[in-house]
Amino acid sequence: MARRSRKLTALAGTVVAILLIGAATQSAAAERGETTRTFKPVKKKPRALVFAPRTSPHAVVRKARVRLRNRRTGVRRIRRLGVRRVTSAATSRSVLKIRKAPKANGRLKIEVGVEDPADATEPDPVEPGSDTDGTAGSGGGGDGSTDPGGDGSSDEGGTGGSGGDSSGPSPSPSPSPIPTTWRRFASFEDRLNSGIDYGWRVDSPFEVTRTSEAGASDGSHAVKIRTAGGSNGCSCPRMTFDDGFSLGPGSSVWISGSWRIPNPSRLAWSRLMNLGHFVQSESTKNYYTGLVVRSGGQMSVSTRQYNTDAGMSTLMSDRPIPVNRWFRVDLHLKLSPTDGQALTEVYLDGELIARSTRRNMMHSGPLHFFNAGLPYFWPESGDMTVYFDAPRLIT
């Protein structure tokens, strides 16, 4: 029912994202409720069309069909596809091959719904001071930091003799150079959404605007994220890079972002940027790796399931978030779910501040999207302004 009006709603959406692969169109409304997304073939063969359906991390495929039209005869035909097959292609970032008559062209249409993203994807906030779950797999005692010295000036020592730390062999002694070119980049100089996928996710009561009032990390404009408290929906004012990349064990990736946080001591139990693996709602396989805030005013880097600390791997322990000035964090990951075989390097304003060989994947399931801004904001943090600029990624 209301299929037509759903389509119209999708068309009326204010933001249309063009995915690099699949050339999908999607309205901002796709983040909520159901909508239909249309994909052009990424490859046309005489007797087949190849599609690369991509869905946002929270989307669930409800229905899928290919509309074929024979150019010679004008005959139109609709072919239904199995939901499972399309879901599998979308989540594993693989392609769908659809057989057809030699002269036929076609479009793939999928109806997607959202499985309560707020509940499904965000961590249960943990009361400050409590140690949660008790099943955390990171090193003995404390928070399993790679930075036993506490002030984190360098984590070289973290792989040597920090008792109980099973980080494995020492990583290469010289830091990896920070990339000078990036595959994805946004700077918000002329528009809020240019250069990013899906636009910004902004649930009430968040406000996301473009401003020059606080300067910028790159150029003159940045994003201003304002909240008068958390959201009842998705507490997640964030942008996304999600153009079909899929990063499994052995992959190397850099992610980067810049923030200016006037009052970081009031920001806790939130995330600043992360790569994510999200296969389905409520799945214990969903996890992220990224820059997070746990204790008020402190930032750390970890790999963690969305909903629990169980099995969490801490890659950089708490260190103070710079107060009311622009700072940039570059995160370099050579991915592995095995301690000793991974490499994580954290740079603050171009300087290496932490390094770890602990596992930076929860399992071998790939990381396939990037969120930044405030991918999760703990509602109890209350009134908050965070400025954000220059998300970057290279794989």
- Work out how close the CB of 210 gets to Ca ion at its nearest, in angstroms, rounded to a whole number: 9
- Work out how close the CB of 65 gets to Ca ion at its nearest, in angstroms, rounded to a whole number: 41
- Work out how close the CB of 2 gets to Ca ion at its nearest, in angstroms, rounded to a whole number: 40
Give which of 89, 40, 42, 36 is closest to 63, Cα–Cα: 36
If one asks whether residue 389 binds Ca ion (CB under 5 A), the answer comes out as yes
At 337, phi and psi to the nearest 5? -85, 10
Give which of 382, 393, 373 is closest to 271, Cα–Cα: 373
* 333 contacts 290 by C-beta, under 8 angstroms: no
- Work out how close the CB of 352 gets to Ca ion at its nearest, in angstroms, rounded to a whole number: 25
Count of positions on this chain that bind Ca ion (CB under 5 A): 7
Closest residue to Ca ion, based on beta-carbon distance: 187
Phi/psi class of residue 160: alpha, beta or left (left: φ > 0; alpha: ψ in -120 to 50)? Answer: alpha
If one asks whether residue 195 binds Ca ion (CB under 5 A), the answer comes out as no
Find the binding residues for Ca ion in span 171-190 (CB under 5 A): 187-188
Quote the tokens at residue 169.
Answer: 């062999």
If one asks whether residue 122 binds Ca ion (CB under 5 A), the answer comes out as no
- Work out how close the CB of 388 gets to Ca ion at its nearest, in angstroms, rounded to a whole number: 9
- Work out how close the CB of 220 gets to Ca ion at its nearest, in angstroms, rounded to a whole number: 7
Q: Where are the alpha helices (DSSP H) in the chain?
A: 3-12, 83-92, 117-121
Cα 123–Cα 124–Cα 129 angle in degrees, nearest 5: 110
If one asks whether residue 219 binds Ca ion (CB under 5 A), the answer comes out as yes
User: Cα(223)–Cα(386) distance, rounded to whole angstroms?
Assistant: 8
If one asks whether residue 372 binds Ca ion (CB under 5 A), the answer comes out as no
Stretch that binds Ca ion, among 2-10, 82-90, 211-219, 355-363 (CB under 5 A): 211-219
Stretch that binds Ca ion, among 84-92, 109-117, 212-220, 366-374 (CB under 5 A): 212-220
User: Cα(372)–Cα(385) distance, rounded to whole angstroms?
Assistant: 15
Using CB under 5 A, which of 30, 59, 216, 342 touches Ca ion?
Answer: 216
Quote the tokens at residue 344.
Answer: 């994580």
If one asks whether residue 208 binds Ca ion (CB under 5 A), the answer comes out as no
If one asks whether residue 218 binds Ca ion (CB under 5 A), the answer comes out as yes
Site for Ca ion, rule CB under 5 A: 187-188, 216, 218-219, 221, 389
